[in-house]
Amino acid sequence: MGKKTKVAFAIAAAGAAAWAGSKALSKPQKRQDKEALQYGHPIILAHRGGSQIAPENSMVAFKKSAELGVHGFEIDIRLTKDEEIIVFHDEFIDGTTDGAGRVADMTLSELKAFDLGYQFLNTQQEYEYRGQGETVITLRELFEEFPQMLINIDMKDSPETYEGSLIPSKLWRLIEELSAQNRVVVTSFFDEQIDRFNLYAQNTVALGAGENEVRKAYSAYTSQFGHLYHPRTDVFQIPLKSGVFPLDGEGFINFLSNLNVPVHYWTINDSKTMERLFLAGAKGIITDRPDLAVPLLADKHA
């Protein structure tokens, strides 16, 4: 046996010993149950209220989706200049011919003047909601209008901004005031924001994974050291892939499910993909087309 071969065997043996040692010392730690995630079947969450059936983030969109039978909503929130939490995705709002304004630089009353129906086109290419009074709503309004719904909340303001520094505490105070701890999931693309929120919530609210947490989980899954991964959040809301890495495989779903972490996929708007994900074990679909998703799920469980 040559010297190089001996070195290779030694490295392999050391690696196997490290794996065996870590396997013996570390056991997977499942996440504790959260009431908001205790559902016995897959669920449908309307993305921004169902942004292809009515103007996104408008009250009419949420009402139409609720009438269709969705289990909840997936929403984004931002903080206004007067520190009100509104249901809105973009950093800027554009709802009139006068142009756009930055959400964080405007008060709630100023934002209420914008028409959410301004850019929404129906299938006949008509602006059916323009001038119909559909305007920005607050998170409080959404909570109070739909007390039965699961609401997945994504904090959009960057933690480096003034509004981003405030929104975790503002959000927690509102959830606590309305006793909504058991019907929300709170997340952000910024893992730092999730950690900030949980300083107040103290694990009483279901947490969604940020980008870094998703990377850690996928890296662990594709390595030989998956047993070393201990999830820090309660649910993954993820796209079908991240860059070139597929996140929609049955193996990855099972890896997380075995840790008591359900997987929801966004934004899924075609029936074939929905059905494939349900068959793979996905516990939720986030969609702009609840009119397609709800009947599909009903047929599967008929």
Where do the domains of the chain lie, and which CATH numbers do they carry? 36-89+138-300 (3.20.20.190)
Cβ atoms of 281 and 263 closer than 8 Å: yes
Contacts of 204 (CB under 8 A, 6+ apart): 181
**Going by C-beta distance under 8 Å and a sequence separation of 6 or more, which residues neighbour residue 161?**
104
pLDDT at 16: 43
| pLDDT tens for each residue of the chain, 302 residues long | 555 554 444 444 444 444 444 444 456 678 899 999 998 889 999 999 999 999 999 999 999 999 999 999 999 999 999 999 999 999 999 877 566 789 999 999 999 999 999 989 888 888 999 999 999 999 999 999 999 999 999 999 999 999 999 999 999 999 999 999 999 999 999 999 999 999 999 999 999 999 999 999 999 999 977 788 999 999 999 999 988 899 999 999 999 999 999 999 999 999 999 999 999 999 999 999 999 999 988 876 65
pLDDT at residue 22, rounded to an integer: 44
Structure tokens at 47: 């993305």
The candidate with the shortest Cα–Cα distance to 262, out of 238, 295, 294, 243, is 238
9's CB contacts (< 8 A; 6+ apart) are 1
**Helix 191-201 with 211-222: angle, nearest 10 deg:** 110
Cβ-based neighbour number of residue 230 at 10 Å: 14
Nearest Cα residue to 87 out of 150, 152, 43, 36: 152
Predicted local confidence at residue 246, as pLDDT: 95
Residue 153 region by backbone torsions, left for phi larger than 0, else alpha for psi between -120 and 50, else beta: beta
Helix segments in 86-161, DSSP class H: 108-111, 139-145
Contact in structure between 236 and 212 (CB atoms under 8 Å): no
Type and span of the H or E element at 300: helix 290-300
The letter for the amino acid at 248 is: D
Give yes or no for a contact between 224 and 19, defined as CB atoms under 8 angstroms apart.
yes
**Which has the closest alpha carbon to 294: 62, 65, 55, 56?**
65
**Helix pair 250-257, 211-222: axis angle to 10 deg:** 110
Which H or E element spans position 185?
strand 184-187
Residue with tokens 């107040």, as numbered in its chain: 200
286: β partners: 45
Contact 262, 37 (CB under 8 A): yes
